[in-house]
């Protein structure tokens, strides 16, 4: 008897402690048991899952296939999914679909068959694979483009040389205009190939020690004369900024490309913000979010509150000849040149955008060794930790939501997650025990981050709110109606910044 109780206790402990989701079902697919990891993964309470069909955890098409597979296995003993790990899709309570690795085992209890499913969330892995695929695709396009540009330059050399020989050898008055037009076209072709070489990271850079503040001010002096009075241009430059080694000609060209793109995105006028900041990539989370190697960087951000970019446009933004503008308005090489130049400079480019709310490009350049007194604050050896307080994470991007859950859980907090402001508000209205809300600002649905914070201040006044965004505050707040001014934790942020902000909010709450 004691052995039975011990075995039951051990089994319970295994289910409770397991990191991956575990779901036990009978031959009809009814859920007999599930562990807390499964409830968290699928965003259900355990009580909501027990006794229900496992089909509730799958998209419709997958549920139909599952029923056929299970019936076939019971009738024939053939294993299509039993004992075989495979990648499938799961469906959360909010109907969002995400990638899973599923392993199903078969056993018997009291003569009745049971099936044990072990499920591992592949969201982060898939996102990493997608990012790697994009990077590899751009690298492949760059190599191909560099080769084509090199060969095309050889052809242009022959064409230009022969045209100049014809011009020098006594072309008549009728021929000279034709030769001149041909030479001008050849020069345009040469300019095109030089821009392609920049994307391919094969241009000849002449880097020099640079203070990016001065470069930005010089560029803005030109921009202000061309943009007109309907554009509000602001800057946010710190007093102490690290120097970088960068080619000034290419940098100014990249900056003008981004600024003019922002102008085009704000047809009726709007806000443009140029900001500079020392950034230290010093933990796994931030490196994962930005796809940048650890180190010190200077980030140049160009943000607008224009029409924004669709997901497809963001995915292809840096490809040569891809453009959302009419064909007569550009060749689609501007962002490709920016990408190639920054990568060749040892840096990286990030892009945040949302339709109707604007776009923010971040250019990261490796910082030169900091002089005494100009470095970033020392990273504390031990980060401030929570005491299992409950934090409601509100984020519509699955990859960022998953990352935020891991970051905050690692700091010692318990987690509830929502994929929109509307869902988060409903969770609070339903009486969930929450100590703090950590919300993105820009989200689909009725409630953006500011709206959610306003409702919380009105209906749950003791509940603290921390907002985060990948956009510049001075740009996005004009597009999102709100009254109260909030301090924004800007993406990408360091784990130490997140830990300190959360600790400060909980300390302030204790003092209230």
Distance between CA 227 and CA 233 in Å, rounded?
9
**In this structure, what token pair is assigned to residue 169?**
């050898």
CA-based nearest residue to 344, from 218, 254, 243, 237 = 254
* pTM > 0.75: no
Q: What is the 3-state secondary structure (H, E, C) of 222-240?
A: HHHHHHCCCEEEEEECCCC
Instruction: Output the six-digit token pair for 92.
Output: 């959360």
Residue closest to 91 by CA, chosen among 119, 72, 68, 124? 119
Cβ atoms of 232 and 271 closer than 8 Å: yes
DSSP state of 60: H
φ/ψ of 305, rounded to 5, equals -115, 45
Q: What is the DSSP code (8-state) at residue 325?
A: S
Tell me 463's DSSP state.
-
DSSP per-residue string spanning 340-370: HHHHHTT-EEEEEEETTTEEEEEEEEEBPPP
CB 452 within 8 A of CB 408: no
Are 383 and 411 within 8 A, CB to CB?
A: yes
CB 434 within 8 A of CB 416: yes
* 3-class SS letters over 250-313: HHHHHHHHHHHHHHHHCCCCEEEEEEEEEEEECCHHHHHHHCCCCEEEEEEEEEECCCCCCHHH
Angstrom distance (rounded) from CA 228 to CA 214: 22
* Gap between the Cα atoms of 494 and 278, Å rounded: 12
pLDDT in tens, the chain (512 residues): 456 566 667 777 777 877 888 888 887 888 888 898 888 888 888 888 899 888 888 887 776 666 566 665 555 555 555 656 678 888 888 888 888 888 887 777 777 888 888 888 887 777 666 665 555 555 655 555 555 555 566 666 667 777 777 777 777 777 778 877 777 776 666 655 655 555 444 456 678 898 999 888 888 877 776 677 788 888 888 888 999 998 887 788 788 878 888 888 887 788 888 889 888 887 666 666 666 777 889 999 888 888 888 888 887 777 765 565 555 444 445 677 788 778 888 888 888 887 877 888 889 999 987 554 444 445 555 788 888 899 999 998 887 888 889 889 889 999 999 989 999 999 999 999 999 999 998 887 888 888 999 999 999 998 999 998 876 555 555 555 555 566 788 877 778 888 999 999 988 765 55
d(CA 44, CA 100): 17
């Amino acid at each position: 008897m004691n052995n039975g109780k011990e075995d039951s206790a051990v089994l319970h402990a295994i289910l409770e402690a397991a990191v991956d989701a575990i779901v036990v079902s009978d031959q009809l697919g009814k859920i007999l048991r599930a562990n807390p990891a499964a409830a968290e993964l699928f965003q259900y309470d355990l009580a909501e899952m027990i006794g229900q069909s496992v089909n509730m955890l799958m998209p419709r098409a997958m549920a139909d296939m599952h029923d056929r597979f299970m019936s076939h296995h019971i009738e024939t003993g053939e294993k299509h999914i039993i004992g075989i790990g495979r990648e499938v899709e799961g469906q959360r309570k909010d109907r969002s679909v995400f990638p899973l690795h599923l392993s199903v085992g078969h056993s018997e209890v009291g003569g009745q068959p049971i099936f044990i499913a072990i499920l591992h969330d592949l969201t982060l892995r898939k996102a990493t694979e997608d990012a790697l695929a994009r990077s590899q695709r751009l690298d492949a396009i760059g190599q191909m483009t560099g080769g084509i540009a090199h060969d095309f330059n050889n052809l242009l050399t022959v064409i230009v040389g022969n045209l100049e020989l014809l011009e020098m050898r006594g072309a008549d008055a009728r021929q000279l205009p034709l030769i001149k037009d041909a030479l001008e076209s050849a020069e345009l072709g040469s300019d095109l190939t030089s821009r392609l070489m920049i994307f391919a990271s094969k241009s000849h850079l002449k880097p020099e020690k640079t203070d990016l503040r001065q470069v930005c001010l010089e560029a803005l002096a030109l921009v202000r004369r061309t943009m007109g009075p309907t554009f509000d241009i602001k800057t946010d430059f710190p007093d102490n900024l690290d120097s970088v080694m960068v080619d000034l000609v290419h940098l100014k060209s990249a900056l003008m490309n981004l600024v003019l793109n922002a102008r085009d995105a704000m047809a009726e006028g709007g806000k443009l913000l140029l900001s500079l900041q020392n950034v230290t990539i010093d933990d796994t989370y931030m490196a994962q979010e930005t796809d940048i190697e650890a180190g010190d960087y200077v980030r140049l951000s160009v943000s607008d509150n224009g029409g924004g970019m669709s997901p497809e446009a963001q995915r292809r933004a840096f490809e040569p000849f891809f453009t959302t503008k009419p064909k007569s308005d550009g060749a689609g090489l501007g962002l490709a040149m920016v990408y190639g130049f920054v990568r060749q400079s040892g840096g990286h480019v990030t892009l945040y955008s949302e339709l109707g709310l604007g776009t923010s490009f971040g250019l990261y350049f490796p910082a030169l060794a900091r002089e005494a007194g100009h470095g970033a604050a020392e990273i504390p050896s031990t980060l401030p930790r929570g005491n299992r307080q409950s934090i409601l994470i509100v984020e519509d991007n699955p990859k960022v939501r998953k990352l935020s859950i891991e970051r905050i859980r690692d700091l010692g907090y318990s987690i509830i997650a929502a994929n929109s402001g509307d869902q988060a508000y409903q969770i609070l209205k339903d009486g969930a025990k929450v100590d703090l809300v950590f919300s993105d600002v820009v989200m689909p649905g009725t409630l953006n981050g500011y709206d959610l914070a306003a409702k919380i201040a009105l209906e749950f006044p003791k509940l603290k709110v921390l907002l985060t965004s990948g956009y510049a505050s001075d740009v996005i707040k004009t597009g999102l109606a709100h009254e109260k001014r909030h301090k924004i934790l800007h993406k990408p942020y360091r784990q130490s910044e997140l830990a300190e902000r959360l600790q400060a909010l909980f300390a302030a709450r204790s003092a209230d």
